Amino acid sequence: MKMITNMEKLKTLLESRGLKPTFQRLTVLEYLEKHECHHPTAEMIYEALIARIPTISITTVYNTLSAFLEKGIISAETITGTEVRYDFAPVPHHHFLCTKCGKIYDVKIKCPLGNDMKNTIDGHHIHEIHGYFKGICRECSNKKSGKQK
Amino acid sequence: MKMITNMEKLKTLLESRGLKPTFQRLTVLEYLEKHECHHPTAEMIYEALIARIPTISITTVYNTLSAFLEKGIISAETITGTEVRYDFAPVPHHHFLCTKCGKIYDVKIKCPLGNDMKNTIDGHHIHEIHGYFKGICRECSNKKSGKQK
DNA sequence: GTTATTGCAAAATATTTGCATTATA
DNA sequence: TATAATGCAAATATTTTGCAATAAC
């Protein structure tokens, strides 16, 4: 029985969407998959990948992310309002931004925005549903109340 | 009985939030109130106001919008992903962006995101709830199916 | 070998900052 | 008059574009 590596799995994913599995694309996708909860910016991905691919350019990161978005492999979130955060998200979900520490959490809500909802609203045909929350996260709340050790 | 003009009403609103009612601020607020469904960018406001205040600067528009946001008079939406849209919105609501014509509609959904929801999620304390939809609007759908005259 | 991708440099866009001028209370 | 707001110029940050070099199939 043949072992299937993670890279081979990602390669197959790219090919199935009609994207050539270049080293740059595979590395960006692997980073997004491993760090999926970090919701990085293009710049963060670029900085992280320079160690592995010293010649990579920010243009390639943007090209790659655009291609992934177009094929629906990743999603883009504008939750912070200052830059786009990218998310490798096989399962649709919403987000929570902590206004204190800046961390973005995935949230799986029971009654998600759009659940038991028709695919139209006021006659408009819905293709995408985005929902996000802002506030103080669990961790920062605990720190505030002196619960951190 | 004394008539209360709209400008006087807006002046009172600014003063009640501790903001000096300068001509620039009143004019920006009046524009947002009258065009509240247009969800303009800072640039759109600036372009529109040059006719009335030829000396106004984009910096003042940004300063003004920041002050309004801080005082909760307006809200900011990042629905398009490329720039911030401002909204004078006395009643909280969600938004729909038409990916064809770019128009942003207000939507009052029956089961809004966060309705019948506690003020925490996964232990995170919620201060703001944002929800938006993307798709093809009523008008563009009609055009597509040949219903426009 | 042909076509698509990469990556550099420069441009475009959106927003912020420093500071002198001006207006407000 | 003291304080805050305005507006110009320049800076910063993010993203996009043109194009030549390179890599994939």
Tell me: do A77 and A123 sit in the same domain: no
Surface of B (82-141) touching A: CB under 8 A: 84, 96, 98-99, 105, 107, 109, 111-114, 116-117, 121-138, 141
Tell me: do A86 and A35 sit in the same domain: yes
Tell me: do A131 and A97 sit in the same domain: yes
Distances A24 to A50, B40, B68, B110 between C-alpha atoms, Å: 11, 38, 44, 45
User: Which among B97, B137, B91, B131 is positioned nearest to B114, based on CA atoms?
Assistant: B131
Tell me: do B108 and B139 sit in the same domain: yes
Q: In chain B, how many domains are there?
A: 2
Q: Do A129 and B133 touch (CB under 8 A)?
A: yes
Question: pTM, whole model, 2 decimals?
Answer: 0.87
Structural domain harbouring B19: 1-90
Between these two residues, A4 and A119, which has the higher pLDDT value?
A: A119
Element (DSSP H or E) covering residue A49: helix A42-50
Nearest residue on chain B to A129, alpha-carbon basis: B133
Q: Separation of CA B68 and C1' C21 in angstroms? A: 24
* Token representation of residue A67: 């291609």
What is the least distance, in Å, from the CA of B15 to any CA of chain A?
28
Indicate which CATH number applies to the domain containing A9. 1.10.10.10
Q: What is the pLDDT of residue A25?
A: 97
Tell me: do A32 and A77 sit in the same domain: yes
Tell me: do A100 and A86 sit in the same domain: no
Tell me: do B110 and B100 sit in the same domain: yes
- Under the banding of pLDDT at 50, 70 and 90, the label for residue B24 is very high
% pLDDT > 90, chain B:
69
Residue A147 has pLDDT above 80, yes or no: no
Indicate which CATH number applies to the domain containing A100. 3.30.1490.190
Q: Which of B90, B118, B138 is the last residue of a domain?
A: B90
Tell me: do B1 and B74 sit in the same domain: yes
Dihedrals φ, ψ of B18, to 5°?
A: 80, 25
Instruction: From chain B, pick out residues whose CB is under 8 angstroms from the CB of A132.
Output: 130-131
Tell me: do B39 and B12 sit in the same domain: yes
The protein residues having a beta carbon less than 7 Å from any atom of strand C are: A 19-20, 22, 24-25, 53, 55-57, 59-60, 63-64, 67; B 20-23, 41-43, 58-59, 62-63, 66, 82-84
Tell me: do B68 and B16 sit in the same domain: yes
Nearest residue on chain B to A117, alpha-carbon basis: B111
- A79 Cβ contact partners less than 8 Å away, ≥ 6 residues apart: A85, A95, A97, A104, A132, A134, B78, B130
User: Which among B9, B47, B43 is positioned nearest to B29, based on CA atoms?
Assistant: B9
Q: What is the pLDDT of residue B38?
A: 81
Tell me: do A78 and A149 sit in the same domain: no
- Look up the protein residue whose alpha carbon has the minimum distance to the C1' of C3: A20
**pLDDT digit string (tens) for B40-84?**
999 999 999 999 999 999 999 999 999 999 999 999 999 999 999
Tell me: do B56 and B110 sit in the same domain: no
